[in-house]
Amino acid sequence: MIPDDAINRLHESASKVAQFCDELGVKQWEIVAEQGYGHSVELEGGKITMASGGGSGGIGVRVLDQGKYGYAHFADVKSAKFAIERALNVASKSPAIDGFELPSLVSAKSVEGLLDQRVLSLSPEDVMTQADEILSEVDNANPRAVVTGGGIGAGVHAGVLVNSNGIEESGMRSSHGFSLQVTIDENGEQTSSYEGEYSRSLIHDFEPCVSKAVHWAEVTRNPIKGQDVSDCEVLMTSEGLAPLFSMVFPSALLGERMARKESLWSEKMGSKVLDDHLSIVDDRLLTGGISSTGRDAEGVPSRSHKLVENGDLISSLWSVRDSAQMVDEGRVDHAQTTGSAVRGSYQGPPSVGCSNLILKTSNRTKSLEDLILSIDSGYVVHSVMGAHTANPTSGDFSVTSSAILKVENGTVIGALKQAGLSGNLAKAFSKNVHMSNDTRRQGSYSSGSMYLPDVLLKEGLRVNPA
């Protein structure tokens, strides 16, 4: 899937760019070189509709002089000098950030589980075979169910980061993932469910994810009549919670947003922000983590960072650049990097962001079934639409769901065709929060991934059946 000398090639390209930086008199420079390869298959209408493969990559360079920085990216080393000059021009017109210096080399821990040779060995034919397996699993689970969307892919990413202060980091990460939308269209009624799984290692069993997709397409059929709008208990599955959680909490934990008064938790450091048994950890060293790295996007050693402990906000995340900028602007008295710089790709400079964000509890957890049994009158929500409209500064949200079940006296009595769900996520997590014992990795957001359990929320949520 990837040339044996991919890392060597990237190192050679980065060295040439570094030489050009030195020739042009750049005081401090940072170079990132990336290359990705992969195979993918798309699914639609119960069959394979397209297969593709290939690679892409490029180089990004950040230049820094007396607190002023500029950035440029390019695809070929032949364009390096022009790109560096462009970055220098940007830097000359940028405001200076007092105290902003690129980091120097400090030893860092390695992270296990980021590269699986079995994924690298997958051929396009192997991925096609896996796509057929998914289609067969769906048919075996329910012959009425059809895969109306989704796909499967395998890939590898190679990257090199070097800077003028001695940092030189390189490595490869594998990825294997699939998603599927399952639809049952029968007797004039259509129900659908979407599920997916993504891993750094080879996924060898598609059945659990397929079964869940088929299950939710089945249990949401033959909806019951909705009742009046009411405040109620809501059990959000890990999949249902993830979109809202990703819109509200990750941004609230960034030091820069707190300093700018743009965070849900601005001016609340040291205060209670969650139920007193809840903690949030950002673990960039998580074995096999989707967003794990030995160093962050600026080359600073990564670490596991506790942000909320027993409900109290105790820390926030910073990169080198934004910590210097917030101090320079007088928004905070002191800040320094926490090794939390992220980068979407070589096409943009690093910024601060979460990595593997994990929600934990010190209380005893229960199974999903036991959580349902504890509900007197409420709902189970497995997916939401419109989570992107949630307000990350206030925590307010108003979304809809077509994967929602009504629960009475601990028993699911039926599904609703559709319902609105509204409330404030910060309030909902402030007390009476109960968690399941099954924590699952959920879809990546802009800078990382979430590891969330099923959560029963009893405060501040309202359901409005359609």
179 and 247 in one domain? no
253 and 209 in one domain? no
Q: What is the pLDDT of residue 396?
A: 96
- Tell me the two tokens of residue 433: 């929060």
- Tell me the two tokens of residue 317: 């995340």
- What percent of the chain is predicted at pLDDT more than 90? 95
Q: What is the pLDDT of residue 185?
A: 95
149 with 138: CB under 8 angstroms?
no
Element at 17 (helix H, strand E) = helix 6-23
239 and 127 in one domain? no
Q: What is the pLDDT of residue 226?
A: 74
In a domain, residue 185? The reply is yes
173 and 251 in one domain? no
212 and 237 in one domain? no
Among candidate residues 219, 250, 277, the one where a domain is terminated:
219
**pLDDT tens-place string over residues 250-285:** 999 999 999 999 999 999 999 999 999 999 999 999
Q: Could you tell me what percentage of the chain is helix, strand and coil, using 3-state DSSP and rounding each to the nearest 5? A: 25, 40, 35
Q: What is the pLDDT of residue 444?
A: 62
User: What domain range is 151 assigned to?
Assistant: 6-219
401 and 320 in one domain? yes
Nearest in space to 146 (alpha carbons), one of 159, 134, 156, 158: 134
In a domain, residue 422? The reply is yes
**pLDDT tens-place string over residues 394-427:** 999 999 999 999 999 999 999 999 999 999 999 9
Separation in Å, CA 234 to CA 105, 241, 327, 380: 48, 10, 42, 6
In a domain, residue 112? The reply is yes
In a domain, residue 207? The reply is yes
In a domain, residue 367? The reply is yes
In a domain, residue 225? The reply is no
Nearest in space to 405 (alpha carbons), one of 396, 397, 413, 394: 413
Q: What is the pLDDT of residue 445?
A: 60
215 and 307 in one domain? no
CA distance 265 to 257: 9
Beta bridge partner(s), residue 422: 398, 462
Q: For residue 393, what is the DSSP state?
A: T
34 and 119 in one domain? yes
Quote the pTM value: 0.93
In a domain, residue 1? The reply is no
424 with 394: CB under 8 angstroms?
yes
Q: What is the CATH number of the domain that holds 187?
A: 3.30.2290.10
399 and 281 in one domain? yes
Task: Label residue 386 left, alpha or beta by phi (over 0 means left) and psi (-120 to 50 means alpha).
Answer: left
In a domain, residue 224? The reply is no
- SS3 label, residue 317: strand
Q: What is the pLDDT of residue 228?
A: 73
List all residues 6 or more positions away from 151 whose beta carbon is below 8 Å from its beta carbon: 40, 41, 42, 43, 131, 178, 179
pLDDT < 50 stretches in the chain: none
423 and 318 in one domain? yes
316 and 234 in one domain? yes
CA distance 307 to 304: 10
Among candidate residues 151, 186, 219, the one where a domain is terminated:
219
The structural domain count of the chain equals 2
Among candidate residues 194, 219, 244, the one where a domain is terminated:
219
122 and 165 in one domain? yes
Question: What string of H, E and C letters represents the secondary structure of 250-313?
Answer: HHHCEHHHHHCCCCCCCCCCCCECCCCCEEEEEECCCCCCCCCCCECCCCCECCEEEEEECCEE
